[in-house]
């Protein structure tokens, strides 16, 4: 098999390591031929290279352990909140953060120890706060005064909390992925934080353990991360809470989606945070980091079948998925690569500039613009890499689409960890 390294197919650079082509040209991911996966699970399907997730998580853990004495990687599970992923993270010694009651239930159901769970949310309802307290989660991250009301009203034993501060740091990323700017709905500016902290300190059963900051997602530049650590510490001093021990520095590191694209590595990211921490935080601080995307994105590959090829204003290659299973393009304008993963028919094909589009009734339902594909034809399998984060959880039933299965692959083995939705699922909630 020809693998990504050393092929003349640069797009394979952004597929999981070890991805290559069998002698007949069929793409092989995690040791599995995609034509066999398509036969077993249908298309579209989200393939996840399990070994690559584990390797990425271990790299992150090792980098953080080497950089700071008391530190913990916490997986921002919103990126891929599936039972199998929660189990994997727990097996790897990773904590998880959840941002809703559903994520909390799935994590608990997967067997994640509540003492390793952080609860986020800018609008936590009574149900989420109640369940978090009942389960005994590690920390509830307070984002507003109403969180304090709810916690105070319901706590029956000590609950440790972090306070999410707004550092007024706006990294360069899509507006919809920027969360640390002054006008963000997330986090507390100094004035409000002061009130929250006074309330927490006065509450019998709440313990202020530390502070939290998160500036956004898909961030390619490390400087804002360092700046957020400095700003966080400045806020801590301004608020007179320098005695707190826990500094949760959030997540947000981006990943490369395109051939030749450079994004700092996990090691560089952790190194930047640790250097900023050495400069600004007490040496005994306990540091948490919350990467989501950077742990899972590059392990994912979306597998589609070409349904139509329309040669009009452009060559529109329409596949059997789209914004129903990948909202990253319509929400954030995220560019992706695409390759023909298994041509329907053998033989040489001339490259053609194409727009890969979805099957949904929206002009914005485009997966990849202006990609060169070898004369795509109906029935080809087409693969889009780096779809392991924020695709599965944002998948939807638009136009009655059935949400795709998630298939873990590795070492030539494969197993569905989430089945495809069925037509019966579509009406399961209809009551009249
Ligand atoms: C509080 C918090 N932590 C961590 C993350 C993870 O971000 P990313 O997946 O970009 O690492 C998010 C996502 O935006 C978040 O809201």
| pLDDT one-digit tens code per residue, 392-415 | 999 999 999 999 999 999 999 999
Atom index in ligand 1 nearest the CA of residue 79 equals: 9
**Angle at CA of residue 281, ends 275 and 285, nearest 5°:** 105
Phi-psi region of 203 (alpha: psi -120 to 50; beta: other; left: phi over 0): beta
Which pair of tokens denotes residue 273?
């945070």
The reported pLDDT for the residue numbered 145 is 97
Q: Which residues are catalytic?
A: 361
List of residues 6+ apart from 63 with CB closer than 8 A: 266, 267, 270, 271
Q: How many angstroms separate the Cα of 344 from the Cα of each of 169, 306, 347, 349, 351?
A: 50, 10, 10, 12, 16
Element (H or E) spanning 247, and its range? strand 246-248
**Is there an atom of ligand 1 within 6 Å of 79 CB?**
yes
Would you mind telling me the total number of residues written for the chain in this entry?
Answer: 432
Architecture of domain 2-50+298-428 in this structure: Beta Barrel (2.40)
What does the pLDDT read at residue 341? 98
**How far does the centroid of ligand 1 lie from the alpha carbon of residue 214, in Å?**
7
Cα→Cα distances 134→114, 129, 148, 420, Å: 10, 9, 16, 33
Closest by alpha carbon to 141, among 106, 97, 77? 97
| 318 SS3 class | strand
CB 164 near ligand 1, within 6 Å: no
CA angle, corner 215, sides to 108 and 47, nearest 5?
Answer: 50
Q: Separation of 215 CA from ligand 1 center, angstroms?
A: 8
Domain boundaries of the chain, sorted by first residue? 2-50+298-428, 51-297
The ligand 1 atom nearest the CA atom of 292: 9
pTM, full prediction: 0.96
Tell me the C-alpha to C-alpha distance, in Å, between residue 141 and each of 25, 48, 67, 270.
50, 30, 25, 22
**Residue to substitute in 94, 177, 217 for testing ligand 1 pocket (most ligand atoms within 8 angstroms of CB):** 217
Q: Is the CB of 252 under 6 A from ligand 1?
A: yes
Range 183-210 burial, b when 16+ CB lie within 10 A, else e:
ebebbbeeebbeebbebbeebeebebbb
What pLDDT was estimated at residue 30? 98
Q: What is the Cα–Cα distance from 184 to 290, expressed in whole angstroms?
A: 19
17 Cα distance to chain centroid: 19
Strands, E assignment, 179-239: 206-212
Ligand 1 touching residue 294 (CB < 6 A): yes
Pocket test for ligand 1, best of 85, 172, 187, 250 (most atoms within 8 A of CB): 250
Ligand 1 centroid from CA 404, angstroms: 24
Ligand 1 closest atom vs CA 141? 1
Q: How far apart are the first and last CA of the chain?
A: 54
| Tokens matching residue 172 | 């360069």
3-state secondary structure of 29: strand
Number of neighbours of residue 347 by Cβ within 10 angstroms: 7
pLDDT at residue 177, as a whole number: 75
Query: What CATH class does 51-297 carry?
Result: alpha beta
* 146, two tokens: 């109403």
Residues contacting residue 278 through CB under 8 Å, at least 6 positions apart: none
Query: Which pLDDT does position 365 carry in this prediction?
Result: 96
CA-CA distance, 142 to 209, in Å (whole number)? 11
Pick from 205, 214, 236, 265: nearest CA to 97: 214
* CA distances, 9 to each of 14, 30, 47, 48 (Å): 11, 18, 20, 21
Ligand 1 atom closest to residue 390's alpha carbon, by position in its atom list: 9
pLDDT of residue 345: 85
Q: So what's the pLDDT on residue 178?
A: 72
Q: Which segments of the chain have a pLDDT < 70?
A: 1-7, 180
Dihedral angle sign, alpha carbons of residues 278, 280, 284, 289: negative
**Does residue 317 have a cis bond before it (omega within 30 degrees)?**
no
- 72 beta partners: 288
Return the residue matching tokens 């939705």: 421
296 CB near ligand 1 (under 6 Å): no
Helix (H, G, I), strand (E, B) or coil at 405: coil
For residue 1, the model assigns a pLDDT of 66
- CB proximity list for 430: less than 8 A, separation 6 or greater: none
């Amino acid at each position: 098999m020809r693998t990504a390294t050393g092929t003349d197919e640069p797009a394979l650079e952004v597929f999981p390591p070890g991805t290559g082509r069998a002698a007949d040209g069929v793409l092989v991911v995690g040791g599995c031929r995609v034509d066999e996966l398509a036969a077993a699970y249908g298309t579209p399907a989200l393939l996840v290279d399990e070994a690559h997730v584990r390797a990425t998580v271990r790299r992150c853990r090792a980098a953080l352990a080497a950089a700071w004495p008391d530190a913990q990687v916490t997986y921002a599970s919103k990126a891929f909140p599936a039972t199998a992923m929660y189990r994997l993270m727990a097996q790897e010694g990773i904590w998880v953060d959840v941002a809703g009651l559903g994520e909390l239930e799935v994590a608990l159901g997967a067997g994640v120890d509540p003492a390793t769970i952080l609860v986020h949310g800018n609008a936590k309802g009574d149900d989420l706060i109640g369940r978090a307290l009942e389960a005994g989660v590690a920390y509830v991250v307070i984002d507003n005064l109403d969180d304090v009301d709810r916690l105070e009203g319901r706590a029956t034993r000590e609950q440790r909390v972090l306070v999410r501060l707004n550092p007024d740091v706006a990294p360069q990323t899509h507006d919809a992925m920027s969360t640390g700017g002054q006008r963000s709905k997330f986090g507390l500016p100094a004035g409000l934080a002061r009130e929250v902290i006074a309330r927490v300190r006065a509450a019998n059963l709440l313990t202020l353990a530390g502070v939290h900051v998160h500036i956004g997602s898909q961030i390619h530049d490390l400087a804002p991360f360092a700046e957020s650590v400095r700003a966080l510490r400045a806020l801590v001093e301004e608020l007179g809470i320098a005695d707190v021990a826990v500094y949760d520095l959030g997540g947000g590191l981006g990943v490369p989606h395109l051939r030749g694209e450079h994004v700092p590595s996990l090691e560089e990211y952790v190194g930047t945070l640790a250097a900023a921490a050495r400069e600004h935080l007490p040496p005994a601080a306990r540091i948490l980091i919350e990467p989501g995307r950077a742990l899972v994105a590059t392990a994912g590959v979306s597998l589609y079948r070409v349904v139509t090829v329309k040669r009009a204003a452009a060559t529109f290659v329409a596949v059997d998925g789209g914004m129903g299973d990948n909202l990253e393009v319509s929400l954030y304008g995220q560019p992706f690569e695409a390759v023909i993963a298994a041509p329907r028919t053998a033989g040489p094909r001339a490259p053609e500039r194409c727009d890969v589009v979805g099957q949904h009734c929206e002009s914005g339902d485009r997966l990849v613009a202006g990609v060169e594909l070898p004369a795509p034809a109906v029935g080809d399998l087409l693969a889009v890499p780096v779809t392991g984060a924020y695709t599965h959880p944002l998948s939807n039933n638009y136009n009655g689409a059935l949400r795709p299965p998630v298939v873990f692959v590795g070492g030539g083995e494969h197993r569905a960890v989430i089945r495809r939705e069925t037509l019966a699922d579509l009406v399961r909630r209809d009551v009249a």
